[in-house]
């Protein structure tokens, strides 16, 4: 069974601070997605990484896929209250009917 | 563009009553479809997925069942609800692109079983 562990589980920071969320597994994934979810809504896809060592930037968010495709990180620079939410990583298997294995989630709260 | 709908948005049902949650996708054809359940503030548990009409794979044996009567319609059902069925139910779709399973989620249904 593939498992994805996220750390930390909870993070409360002030506006302007930087943070990093980690997503780790002992399994290899063909792709890795990051989602953000707000209370009472469905998760929204932020990014997909597919190549080991790949780095993608989305404004103040930087996503990295580990060289061995077993782990990933999300770094937020100068966090804002609008970044508040539940961050979920998800690892993809192979094939067209592949399923996603979701991480345990990191709840981020950014205060003024 | 593609959109995904779920209804109802919220539902309160007594123990032992039946359940039917519906999910429909617009703007794409032959999507992969998924049902998830999410405990409060936690990750997602895959319940069922489907790669085509009438094709259902169950991930977790339980009190629920799923059906796909049309290409872009996915239904989650139960004959008799249990207290443990309470939760946030999410439907998702993907294009089935090999090795890149990007999924797009609906707004969810909050189910409370009393």
List the CATH number of the domain containing A23: 2.60.40.10
Q: pLDDT band at B43, cuts 50/70/90? A: confident
Q: pLDDT band at A93, cuts 50/70/90? A: confident
- Taking the domains of chain B in order of start, what are their residue ranges? 3-113
Region class of B40: left (phi > 0), else alpha (psi between -120 and 50), else beta:
beta
- For residue A85, CA distances in Å to A10, A37, A72, A88, B55 come to 10, 6, 18, 10, 34
Q: pLDDT band at A97, cuts 50/70/90? A: low
Enter the tokens of residue B40: 């409060």
**CA atoms of B72 and B68, how far apart (whole Å):** 8
CB-defined contacts A:B, below 8 A? 72
Q: In B, which residues are within 8 Å of A33 by CB distance?
A: 101-103
The answer to whether residue A24 is domain-embedded is yes
B5 touches chain A (CB under 8 A): no
pLDDT at A73: 98
pLDDT at A96: 61
CATH ID of B3-113, from 1.10.287.620, 3.30.70.20, 2.60.40.10, 1.10.260.40: 2.60.40.10
The total number of structural domains in chain A stands at 1
Q: How many CB atoms lie under 10 A from the CB of residue A50?
A: 15
pLDDT at B98: 72
Q: Please check whether residue A7 is in contact with residue A22, taking contact to mean a CB–CB distance below 8 angstroms.
A: yes
The answer to whether residue A2 is domain-embedded is no
Enter the tokens of residue B49: 């997925």
A→B contacts (Cβ < 8 Å), by residue, are 30-31, 33, 35, 40-45, 48, 50, 86, 88, 90, 92-100, 102-105, 107
pLDDT at B89: 97
DSSP for B27-91, written as a single string: S-SS-EEEEEEE-TTS-EEEEEEEEETTEEEESS-SS-EEEEEETTEEEEEESS--GGG-EEEEE
What is the extent of the structural domain holding A72? 16-111
What is the per-residue pLDDT across B56-111, written as a single tens digit (0 to 9) for each? 999 886 889 999 999 999 999 999 999 999 999 999 999 977 777 899 999 999 99
Q: In A, which residues are within 8 Å of B110 by CB distance?
A: 40
Which residue in B32, B46, B108 is closest to A41 by CB distance?
Answer: B108
B21 touches chain A (CB under 8 A): no
The answer to whether residue A3 is domain-embedded is no
Average pLDDT, chain A: 93
Residue whose structure tokens are 């993070």: A11
What is the per-residue pLDDT across A13-49, written as a single tens digit (0 to 9) for each? 999 999 999 999 999 999 999 999 999 999 999 999 9
B14 touches chain A (CB under 8 A): no
Interchain proximity A88–B43, CB inside 8 Å? yes
DSSP for B4-34, written as a single string: EEEE-SEEEE-TT--EEEEEEEES-SS-EEE
Q: What's phi and psi for A70, nearest 5 deg?
A: -115, -10
């Amino acid at each position: 069974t593939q498992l994805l562990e996220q750390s930390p589980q909870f993070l409360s920071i002030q506006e302007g601070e930087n943070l990093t969320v980690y997503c780790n597994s002992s399994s290899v994934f063909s792709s890795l997605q990051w989602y953000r979810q707000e209370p009472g809504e469905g998760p929204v896809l932020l990014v997909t990484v597919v190549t080991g060592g790949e780095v993608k930037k989305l404004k103040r968010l930087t996503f990295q896929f580990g060289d061995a495709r077993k782990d990933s990180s999300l770094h937020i620079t100068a966090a804002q209250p609008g970044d508040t939410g539940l961050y979920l990583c998800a690892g993809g298997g192979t094939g067209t009917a592949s399923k996603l294995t979701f991480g345990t989630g990191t709840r981020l709260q950014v205060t003024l | 563009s593609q959109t995904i709908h779920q209804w109802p948005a919220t539902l309160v049902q007594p123990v032992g009553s039946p359940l039917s949650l519906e999910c429909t996708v617009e703007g794409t054809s032959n999507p992969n479809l998924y049902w998830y359940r999410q405990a409060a503030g936690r990750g997602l548990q895959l319940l069922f997925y489907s790669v085509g009409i009438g094709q259902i794979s169950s991930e977790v044996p339980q009190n629920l069942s799923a059906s796909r009567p049309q290409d872009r319609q996915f239904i989650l059902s139960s004959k008799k609800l249990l207290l443990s069925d309470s939760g946030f139910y999410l439907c998702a779709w993907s294009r089935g692109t090999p090795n890149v399973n990007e999924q797009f989620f609906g707004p969810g249904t909050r189910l409370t079983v009393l």
